[in-house]
């Protein structure tokens, strides 16, 4: 039996209302809100404040995708009647721009944490009891402890990362554009890198074991994305399993179950992220876990009194904004504010490849399971003036419980990530198609496409056939 008794404070110890283990999106959001609410906070981080999202995730990948968009704009400018020539990609310049963005955000975040009076501790922490974390021989006790140690890039058995086998961590810091890449995994991270490298001029093949790209999305999104990737010359193999891979000085060879072999310069392994929990002492201290993830109730309490968990170590969407929301929730929970629980279905998701995929709420299949009867409508962006101006293709699909509210919005096209803000209000406020149809959308915007989709679902389509 693990010893789950609390530790009493000794004169060497540092005590606070709250000790947070991990300074990523979830951990630092919790620290900032808790300090705002007057709690004393110790925030323990072994690497860099900001965690995966700021240093190895959201921010640097989106900077690369921005550079990729600039390359595509230059490449295709003639369709707008503008003559430019794409001379090539200067990876040193791209990395300088990307690192500059990260550095600026990092500095801002460090300033924020220090200005809120948070006790920031650098070092590797170990959870040793429900009220105590040890960091390099120093004990920090707290009335409450939040576990927030995040995630790492997983690989497959027998596929050791190193050399030409890379994960997103190495892919973000390449100082050259590969000629050919195999991307193992057609989820969010895989298709984002596939998109960047294609825009930078590489030949890219995505291999996905499930039958479609972005398999967590509604299959409408997968079909739209696959069509767009074909147009862009991004190759992909779905329902395809990798049986092995080898590397040499000159390249990699990836073997598929079908017997086919793919040759490339690099293999990006993007098969998901595992929870960072093995070394932090959780299971030894009695935290209930499953497959390495920390189990919580819907208020993010673990099985140990006074101990909570959030972010990528808790089963659910591994997204930075989920971590932020959970961090704020927990700070308020601990301060006794009784916040409302977070509705996981209402968390928006954006995949920032070209074209983008954005969604909120239930897929059609999930909605059918939950409600039985559903209605859907698909609005083609060909009917939306702004999308035609941008020369993008794509569509919006709405899912509605029959005679009920809109429960899912699924979008594919350039910049549709920016539409997810309105889409999430619709889903989370349980709007009916008529409610949204009555709202006047500015013309010509892409938001108008959301308005038109709801007009169509309300039975009064405007710029839509059929």
Ligand X SMILES: Cc1cc2nc3c(=O)[nH]c(=O)nc-3n(C[C@H](O)[C@H](O)[C@H](O)COP(=O)(O)OP(=O)(O)OC[C@H]3O[C@@H](n4cnc5c(N)ncnc54)[C@H](O)[C@@H]3O)c2cc1C
Instruction: Write out the H or E segment, with its range, that includes residue 178.
Output: none
Catalytic site includes residue 144: no
- 154 touches ligand X by CB under 6 A: no
- Sign of the Cα torsion 315, 150, 25, 197 reads negative
Length of the chain: 466
Is position 45 an interface residue for ligand X (rule: CB under 6 A)? yes
Round to whole Å and give the CA distance between 123 and 107. 19
Please state the closest distance from residue 171 (CB atom) to ligand X, in A: 8
The nearest distance, CB 180 to ligand X, in angstroms, is 21
Instruction: Mark residues 287-326: x for contact with ligand X by CB under 6 A, - for none.
Output: ------------------------xx-----xxxx-x---
In the DSSP assignment, the letter for residue 304 is S
Cβ-based nearer residue to ligand X, 280 or 367: 280
Q: Considering the rule CB under 6 A, would residue 128 count as an interface residue with ligand X? A: no
Provide the mask over 358-397, with x wherever binding to ligand X is found by CB under 6 A and - wherever it is not. Answer: ----------------------------------------
Q: Are 109 and 269 in contact (CB under 8 A)?
A: no
Q: Would strands 261-264 and 252-256 be described as parallel, antiparallel, or unpaired?
A: antiparallel
Check binding of 134 to ligand X (CB under 6 A): no
Residue 150 in the binding site for ligand X (CB under 6 A): yes
* One character per residue 182-201, x = contact with ligand X (rule: CB under 6 A): -------x------------
What whole-number distance in Å separates Cα of residue 132 and Cα of residue 140?
6
Q: Which residues ranging from 243 to 282 are in contact with ligand X (CB under 6 A)?
A: 276, 280
Catalytic pick from 144, 321, 441, 443?
443
Smallest distance from the beta carbon of 25 to ligand X, in angstroms? 4
Going from the C-alpha of 112 to that of each of 28, 35, 52, 106, 109, the distances in angstroms are 10, 11, 18, 10, 5
Contact 185, 163 (CB under 8 A): no
Examine residue 24 and tell whether it contacts ligand X (CB under 6 A): yes
Near ligand X by CB under 6 A, which window of 44-52, 104-112, 232-240, 388-396? Answer: 44-52
Q: Please state, in angstroms and rounded to a whole number, the distance separating the CA atoms of residues 261 and 252.
A: 10
Choose one: 15-23, 103-111, 403-411, 438-446; the region binding ligand X (CB under 6 A): 15-23
Q: Does 453 bind ligand X (CB under 6 A)?
A: no
Tell me the window of 23-31, 94-102, 226-234, 250-258 that interacts with ligand X (CB under 6 A). 23-31
- Based on the shown chain and the rule CB under 6 A, indicate whether residue 65 belongs to the binding site for ligand X: no
Please compute, for residue 438, the number of CA atoms within 13 A of its CA located in the half-sphere on the CB side: 5
Q: DSSP letter string over 394-418?
A: -EEEEEEETTS-EEEEEEEETTGGG
Least Å from the CB of residue 241 to ligand X: 23
Range list of H helices, 116-205: 168-171, 188-199
Minimum Å gap between C-beta 60 and ligand X is: 8
Query: Regarding beta strands 14-21 and 119-122, do their DSSP bridges make them parallel or antiparallel, or are they unpaired?
Result: unpaired
**What gap in Å lies between CA 226 and CA 436, rounded to an integer?**
30
Of 344, 359, 331, nearest to 144 by C-alpha is: 331
Residues in touch with ligand X (CB under 6 A): 21-27, 44-47, 51-53, 56-58, 61-62, 124-125, 148-151, 168, 189, 276, 280, 311-312, 318-321, 323
Q: Which residues are catalytic?
A: 443
């Amino acid at each position: 039996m693990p010893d789950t008794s609390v530790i009493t404070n000794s004169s060497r110890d540092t005590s606070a209302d709250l000790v947070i283990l991990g300074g990523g999106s979830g951990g630092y959001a919790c620290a900032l809100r808790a300090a705002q609410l007057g709690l004393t906070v110790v925030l323990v981080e072994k690497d860099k404040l900001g965690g995966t999202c700021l240093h190895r995730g959201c921010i640097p990948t989106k900077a690369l995708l921005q550079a990729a968009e600039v390359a595509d704009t230059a490449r295709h400018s003639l369709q707008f009647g503008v003559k430019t020539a794409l001379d090539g990609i200067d990876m040193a310049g791209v990395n300088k721009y990307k690192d500059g963005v990260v550095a600026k955000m990092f500095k801002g975040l460090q300033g924020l944490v220090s200005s809120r009076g948070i006790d920031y501790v650098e070092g590797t922490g170990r959870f040793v009891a429900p009220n105590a974390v040890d960091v390099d021989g120093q004990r920090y006790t707290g009335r409450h402890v939040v576990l927030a140690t995040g995630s790492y890039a997983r690989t497959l058995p027998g596929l050791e990362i190193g050399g030409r086998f890379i994960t997103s961590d190495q892919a973000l810091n390449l100082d050259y554009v590969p000629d050919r890449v195999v991307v193992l995994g057609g989820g969010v991270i895989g298709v984002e890198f596939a998109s960047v490298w294609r825009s930078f001029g590489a030949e890219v093949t995505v291999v996905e074991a499930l039958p479609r790209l972005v398999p967590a999305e509604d299959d409408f999104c997968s079909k739209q994305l696959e069509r767009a990737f074909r147009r862009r010359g991004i190759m992909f193999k779905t329902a395809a399993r990798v049986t092995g891979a080898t590397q040499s000085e000159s390249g990699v060879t990836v073997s598929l179950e079908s017997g086919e072999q793919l040759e490339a310069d690099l293999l990006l392994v993007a098969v998901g992220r595992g929870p960072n929990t093995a070394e932090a002492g959780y299971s030894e201290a009695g935290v209930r876990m499953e497959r390495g993830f920390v189990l919580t109730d819907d208020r993010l309490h673990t099985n140990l009194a006074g101990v909570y968990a959030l972010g990528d170590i808790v089963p659910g969407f591994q997204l930075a904004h989920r971590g932020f929301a959970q961090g704020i929730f927990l700070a308020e929970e601990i301060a006794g504010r009784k916040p409302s629980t977070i509705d996981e279905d209402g968390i928006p998701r954006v995949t920032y490849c070209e074209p983008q995929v954005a969604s909120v709420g239930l897929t059609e299949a999930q909605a059918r399971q939950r409600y039985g009867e559903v209605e859907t409508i698909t609005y083609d962006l060909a009917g939306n003036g702004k999308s035609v101006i941008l020369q993008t293709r794509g569509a919006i699909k709405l899912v509605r419980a029959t005679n009920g509210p809109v429960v899912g919005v699924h979008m594919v096209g350039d910049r549709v990530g920016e539409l997810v803000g309105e889409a999430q209000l619709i889903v989370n406020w349980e709007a009916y198609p008529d409610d949204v149809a009555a709202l006047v959308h500015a013309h010509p915007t892409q938001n108008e496409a959301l308005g038109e989709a709801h007009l169509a679902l309300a039975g009064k389509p405007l710029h839509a056939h059929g």
